[in-house]
Structure 1
Amino acid sequence: MEAFLISTGLVALAEIGDKTQLLAFILAARFRRPGAICLGILIATLVNHACAGALGSWITTQVSPQTMRWVLGVGFIAMAIWTLIPDKIDEEETGKRYRFGVLGTTIVAFFLAEMGDKTQIATVALAARFADLWPVVAGTTLGMMVANVPAVLIGDKLAHKMPVRLVHGIAAAIFAVLGAATLLGAGESLGF
């Protein structure tokens, strides 16, 4: 349960102001079909985060526990710093072509935008940290939905009222605490 709850909260906070959340705003403004857009976000995130989580789980079988502890600790601290850097969205990730319809365009655009994104990297790290693949994937996916569904439903009205810097600061602090705790041996019961 801990892996699920931490994954959900961390990704929901990290996603605020992220390029995939900006993409959710853009898709909502362009298509005005919230049901299809939300379903597309869910499908793309599940596939992307399942692959990322599987990679995180696999890495733990290839790296010694001591090395893993340092990689994860430093990785979480790097995520804290990265979270404080504002995102912008690349034009190619907005799904300029609509030949796949609203659902298909959302799936493709979200999947591509999430490649190498901080929430995908966080999923890899969380799956490695907790060694509990499905609760992490379910949690990170729920975190993405918690952040992006309101973006789709409310759109620009929400974006202007949300204290993005504060939310990023909170997410960065959580990543930093996870990093420091990991470096100090908090995961020793898991073999790190």
Structure 2
Amino acid sequence: MLTAILVSLAVVFVAELGDKSQLITMTYSLRHRWWVVLSGVAVAAMLVHGLSVAIGHFLGVSLPERPIAFAASVAFLLFAVWTWRARSEDGEDEVRVAEPRFVLFAIVSSFVLAELGDKTMLATVALASDHHWAGVWIGATIGMVLADGVAIAVGTLMHKRLPERFLHGLASVLFLLFGLFLFFDGGLGLPWVAVTVTAAVAALASAVAVTSWLRHRRQAAELIAQETS
């Protein structure tokens, strides 16, 4: 069992580095308190890897990928709208908004949908077929929480250094990109279209952000010039 814990922990931790789950975690940490995000990640990891262990060790069946991808894409698009609306309601000097009532459920549900059929889940399924199921479940859960904890630390550091409204806008755009990519790639099975559409939207969002930043700088310079004249 100890071997199963250590092996699955190492495999999942490495597999999560740079994965979309880390980006999703960082996105949530831009908007919500770190302990809320980490709690949601822990619950989602237990559920996802519990299901993986059941599939690999007891059932030996596969999940329908496209319906899950469709559901995940719709969820992320809704989160993008929700975050953008919250951004427009927040003030510039607000330290951190109060946690919405259902934010933990939103984090857990989005993570479960995003991880179903992901390479991390497939790795856990394979491990559970050859190792002790309880050890794989424990190790995989700890590995995911540790990897996503790194992403939370990055998001918290960004939150201390960047304006609140900018971070909320960034979180909204990231959710939009996740939703579009999952819709075209996993839902429709069009990976090149997914890459093209996601890259185009990311480029457009970057251009809008740079234009807005330059406009604000110009307005600030004009205000300073008026005050000094």
Structure number with greater CO (CA < 8 Å, separation at least 6) is: 1
Aligned to 2:31, the other structure's residue is in SS state helix
- Segments ≥4 residues shifted beyond 6 Å: none
Percent identical pairs in the alignment equals 33
**Range moving further from structure 2, 93-102 or 7-16:** 93-102
1:146 to partner: Cα distance: 1.0
Distance in 2, matches of 1:136 and 1:2, equals: 9
Q: Which residue of 2 aligns with 1:144?
A: 144
Distance in 2, matches of 1:148 and 1:104, equals: 17
Larger radius of gyration: 2
1:103 to 1:94, Cα distance in 2 relative to 1, 3 A: farther
1:155 to partner: Cα distance: 2.1
Aligned to 1:30, the other structure's residue is in SS state coil
1:51 to 1:43, Cα distance in 2 relative to 1, 3 A: same
1:30 to partner: Cα distance: 2.2
What are structure 2's unaligned runs of at least 5 residues?
Answer: 62-71, 84-99, 159-229
Q: Which residue of 1 aligns with 2:45?
A: 45
1:59 to partner: Cα distance: 4.8
| 1:8/1:139 contact within 8 Å kept | yes
Let me know the Cα RMSD of the aligned residues. 2.6
Q: Which residue of 2 aligns with 1:124?
A: 125
1:47 to partner: Cα distance: 0.9
- Letter of the aligned partner of 1:56 in structure 2? G
Distance in 1, matches of 2:55 and 2:147, equals: 24
1:100 to partner: Cα distance: 5.5
1:70-85 to structure 2, matched below 5 A, reads none
Q: TM-score, normalised by structure 1?
A: 0.60
Q: TM-score, normalised by structure 2?
A: 0.51
Q: Which residue of 1 aligns with 2:14?
A: 13
| 1:94/1:109 contact within 8 Å kept | no
1:62-141 to structure 2, matched below 5 A, reads 92-93=75-76, 96=79, 97=82, 101-130=102-131, 132-141=132-141
Q: Deviations over 1:99-152 (max 9, x none)?
A: 76321111111111111111111111100021x111001000011011001211
1:9 to partner: Cα distance: 0.6
